[in-house]
Amino acid sequence: MEMNLFKFCSGLKALGYCMIILVAAIIAVSYYAVVVLTWGPQLLRGGLHSFFAFSIIIVFHILLILLLWSYLMVVFKDPGSVPENWKPVLEEENLEAGSSMSLSDHVATEASASDVLEMRPPVGYCSRCQNGKPPRCHHCSVCQRCVLKMDHHCVWVVNCVGACNYKFFLLFLLYTFLETSMDTLILLPRFVKFFGDAKNHSTSPGSLAIIFLAFVLNLAFTLSLLCFIVMHASLLLSNTTSIEVYEKKRGVRWKYDLGRKKNFEQVFGTKKALWFLPLFSKEDLDSTPALRGLEFPTLSNIEA
């Protein structure tokens, strides 16, 4: 009896929903440990203690709001789907323009168009979706569809990470790292006191267990997320997806690497005020084709 790997991949969605519950549980434990048990009571002491505790709680909530906002955007935002019966724009433009040209103009246009076509990346075809595949598009066996500029399928968000939600994924990583790093630092004094409190029975066992668990979880996530942030920062600045890493090694120069500034803007947009918010301006969506995931400028286009 043969195993159907595609059904197995589809079953990973159920695991993803468990991951969402796990994320919510970790946030709840951290919130209770930081706000309720550790720094909330410090507000009643007055003076600098209250001011310091108030500042920590405010920053904690700001990071938490940005984290949850980014996370929900990654979960619910479509990473980018290929339009039905998709074809390259150049072919359609040539057909429309050809109807109003003379014979000599048409021949000249065909010659110039052939030169441009040589510069454009080859167009693929997905036999499973029965549709064309734009450049940098890949079929996801879990979602069972093609995803524009697919980076990977993330079990933690029950969604693919692609052209339309990659920015939100990166912000989710960033704010989760900042939140967990902050939680680790502000829980460290209580964690150090944990052993003394446990020995003297000065704190309830339930509170001690929550503080211990919150500290260990936040420390583990901080260390693991640091590796992911460094990796994705490198991919972002070189305009590469996780899937394209091996393809990139084959060439002398990666054709989508247009320089760090342009690479960054292809993911985060050009509006600096929105760079660290899980939003895109309408101007960026209209003027930056890479954010829509169907067309990507290459070195040959820029240098030409």
Decide if 154 is catalytic.
Answer: yes
CB-based burial of residue 274 (10 Å sphere; 0-12 exposed, 13-18 middle, 19+ buried)? middle
Q: Facing residues of 175 across strands?
A: none
Q: Single out the catalytic residue among 137, 146, 154, 160.
A: 154
Distance (Å, rounded) from C-alpha 139 to C-alpha 133?
A: 9
Provide the b/e sequence for 148-173 (b: ≥16 CB within 10 Å). Answer: bbbbebbbbbbbbbbbbbbbbbbbbb
For the record, the structure tokens of 115 come out as 């030169």
For the record, the structure tokens of 133 come out as 């595949």
Residue spans of alpha helices (H) in 77-165:
89-98, 103-119
| Summary count for the chain: helices (H), strands (E) | 11, 6
- Active-site residues, by number, are 154
